[in-house]
């Protein structure tokens, strides 16, 4: 989510290096800066291919240190090579132009031409070469005697910076990138069961067994014990053997299409066109092809699409509406505001169920939904789905079910695994004008 901390911190560090770097006493410590930047390049290697999942504070600290050290080194070099004062206008013009070109490269060119986040290792490569050049200059003082050692270390780091990203992507059958990030399809062995999984960053967005009896079964966060599956299986219309109309925000690999039966309509809302392409790629995933329901895909932002549908044709009259957009590192807060929930309710039947998938490494969203339930007077259930023994393709998942009708959530299957939502009185209602991730950080 767009919260100030996530952009004020790096921006502040970057601007701070301008202030510190354009200082004669700091720029004179060139040898020390070379050492610091070599350490930062080593940390950058760990960020390219981390040995394990790092906690949030460690990721912030490591990225902040790399940014601070690299920018400080580059800005002191910039200050050291500044022209005569009569050329300062051109000097600062080139500075501004370089910033604009760098922003255009990262925002426009890199997503179109790179399959991975290659701009980060490329920047580290340039910095390693700059450190090598600086070490060979007499201006580094005593460090000049170690110039060959520093050069060798810089070259070794450069080799690692090149090879580690290649290794990280070497096990991927498919790698795609666009504005929304990098998608990879990999083969992963889950306790002896080979499966294809779709990964965005470090987050698994669905998987399917490669062969055998488990090939067509639902997996990951969407097994029969998950909140979404329970909401579908125990809806009064399903119990009466009537067709369901199901809406789903977030396609993944289309796993929830498994629960469709003849006569059902399952309508997915997916903002990333490359996710749609991967989900339909039958070399890896077949949930959409094998579904007994009529599957529809709406490309674009789910909320904007649903607002357009409301204006054009009124309510979609969903029996179950699943919001699976919060499992990644980036939380789309506009899908969790009170205005968004009211829009979902407008598209829901009176006995319909909203199912929120809130599994997340960093954010605890249950209190946010508790406050919304309290405000709108809805019925709510929290469900923690645990993998059954002997099923390595199932993950822990956390769900919140909301409905206007208490009887819908009172089925024996839901009552057996659900509990009341827990919240905190200090949690303020999320709206389109207000959201606060600091209050719900794990």
Q: For the segment 372-426, what is each residue's pLDDT rounded down to a tens digit?
A: 999 999 999 999 999 888 889 999 999 999 999 989 999 999 999 999 999 988 8
Each residue's pLDDT tens digit, 123-169:
888 898 898 888 888 777 777 777 788 888 888 888 888 888 777 77
Residues 202-210: what's their mean pLDDT? 88
Task: Return the bridge partners of 178, or none.
Answer: 181
Quick: pLDDT tens for 253-289.
999 999 999 999 999 999 999 999 999 999 999 999 9
The residues pairing with 294 across neighbouring beta strands, listed in sequence order, are 265
- pLDDT given at position 331: 78
Q: Please name which of 186, 192, 295, 177 lies closest in space to residue 246, comparing C-alpha atoms.
A: 295
What is the C-alpha separation between 427 and 405, in angstroms, rounded? 25
Of 39-48, 220-229, 317-326, the range with the lowest mean pLDDT is 39-48
DSSP state of 441: B
Better-predicted residue by pLDDT, 181 or 223: 223
Q: What is the CA angle 314-180-336, rounded to 5?
A: 45
Closest listed residue to residue 336, CA positions, set 427, 418, 220 = 427
d(CA 407, CA 96): 62
At residue 249, does pLDDT exceed 80?
Answer: yes
Closest CA to 363 of 260, 312, 437: 437
- Quick one: pLDDT at residue 5? 64
Edge to edge, the sheet with strand 379-385 lists 294-299, 265-270, 245-249, 318-323, 348-357, 397-403, 379-385, 418-419
Report the percent of the chain where pLDDT is more than 90.
58
Q: What is the DSSP letter of 134?
A: H
Angle CA 395–399–404, to nearest 5: 155
| pLDDT at position 110 over 60 | yes
**Is the per-residue pLDDT at 362 higher than 90?**
no
- Mean of pLDDT values over 288-312: 96
User: How crowded is residue 438: how many other Cβ atoms within 10 Å of its Cβ?
Assistant: 8
**What's phi and psi for 56, nearest 5 deg?**
-60, -45
Q: Whole-number mean pLDDT of the chain?
A: 90
Q: What distance in Å separates the CA atoms of residue 412 and residue 223, rounded to the nearest whole number?
A: 18
Phi/psi for 87 (5° steps) reads -105, 10
164-167 long-range Cβ contacts below 8 angstroms, 24+ apart: 164/45, 164/48, 164/49, 164/121, 165/48, 165/49, 165/116, 165/118, 165/121, 167/49
Q: What is the pLDDT of residue 233?
A: 95
Q: Where are the alpha helices (DSSP H) in 332-388?
A: 338-346, 366-376
Q: Please enumerate in sequence order all residues whose Cβ is within 8 A of that of 399, keeping only pairs 6 or more positions apart, or say none.
A: 226, 227, 228, 355, 356, 357, 358, 382, 383, 384, 385
Task: Give the per-residue pLDDT at 51.
Answer: 62
Res. 3: pLDDT tops 70: no
Strand partners, 380: 402
With 80 as the cut, is the pLDDT of residue 345 above it? yes
Task: Give the pLDDT score at 168.
Answer: 72
Rounded CA-CA distance 292/264 in Å is 8
Please report how many Cα atoms fall inside a 13 Å half-sphere around the Cα of residue 170, on the Cβ side.
Answer: 8
**Residue 273, burial from CB neighbour count under 10 angstroms (0-12, 13-18, 19+):** middle
pLDDT tens digits, 225-244: 999 999 999 999 999 999 99
Residue (of 397, 47, 399) closest to 206 by Cα position: 397
pLDDT of amino acid 289: 95
Q: Flag whether pLDDT at 436 surpasses 90.
A: no
């Amino acid at each position: 989510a767009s919260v100030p901390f996530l952009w004020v911190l790096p921006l502040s560090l970057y601007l701070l290096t301008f202030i510190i770097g354009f200082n004669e006493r700091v720029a004179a410590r060139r040898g020390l800066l070379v050492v610091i930047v070599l350490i930062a390049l080593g940390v950058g290697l760990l960020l390219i291919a981390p040995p394990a999942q790092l906690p949030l504070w460690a990721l912030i600290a490591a990225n902040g240190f790399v940014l601070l050290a690299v920018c400080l080194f580059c800005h002191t070099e910039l200050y050291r090579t500044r022209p005569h004062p009569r050329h300062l206008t051109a000097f600062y013009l080139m500075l501004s132009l370089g910033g604009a070109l760098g922003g255009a490269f990262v925002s426009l060119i890199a997503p179109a031409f790179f399959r991975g986040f290659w701009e980060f290792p490329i920047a580290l490569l340039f910095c390693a070469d700059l450190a090598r050049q600086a070490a060979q200059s007499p201006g580094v003082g005593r460090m000049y005697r170690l110039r060959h050692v520093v050069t060798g270390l810089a070259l070794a780091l450069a080799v690692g910076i090149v090879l580690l990203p290649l290794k990280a992507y070497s096990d991927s059958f498919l790698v795609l990138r666009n504005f929304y990030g990098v998608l990879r399809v990999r083969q992963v062995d889950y306790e002896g069961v080979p499966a294809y999984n779709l990964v965005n960053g470090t987050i698994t967005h669905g998987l399917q067994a490669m062969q055998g009896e488990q090939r067509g079964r639902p997996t990951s966060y969407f097994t029969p014990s998950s909140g979404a599956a329970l909401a579908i299986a125990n809806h009064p219309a399903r119990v009466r053997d009537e067709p369901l109309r199901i809406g789903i925000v977030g396609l993944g690999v289309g796993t929830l299409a498994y629960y469709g039966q003849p006569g059902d309509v399952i309508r997915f809302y997916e903002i990333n066109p490359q996710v749609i392409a991967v989900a339909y790629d039958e070399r890896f995933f077949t949930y959409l092809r094998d579904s007994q329901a009529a599957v529809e895909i709406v490309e674009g932002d789910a909320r904007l699409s649903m607002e357009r549908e409301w204006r054009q044709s009124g309510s979609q009259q969903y029996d179950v509406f699943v919001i699976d957009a919060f499992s990644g590192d980036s939380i789309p807060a506009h899908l969790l505001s009170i205005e968004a929930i009211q829009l979902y309710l407008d598209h829901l039947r009176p006995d319909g169920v909203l199912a929120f998938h809130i599994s997340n490494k960093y954010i605890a969203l249950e209190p946010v939904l508790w406050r919304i339930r309290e405000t709108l007077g809805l019925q709510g259930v929290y469900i923690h789905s645990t993998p059954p023994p002997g099923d390595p393709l199932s993950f822990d998942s956390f769900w919140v079910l909301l409905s206007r009708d208490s009887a819908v959530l009172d089925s024996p299957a839901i009552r057996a695994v659900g509990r009341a939502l827990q919240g905190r009185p200090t949690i303020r209602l999320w709206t389109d004008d207000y959201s606060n991730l600091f209050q719900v950080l794990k």
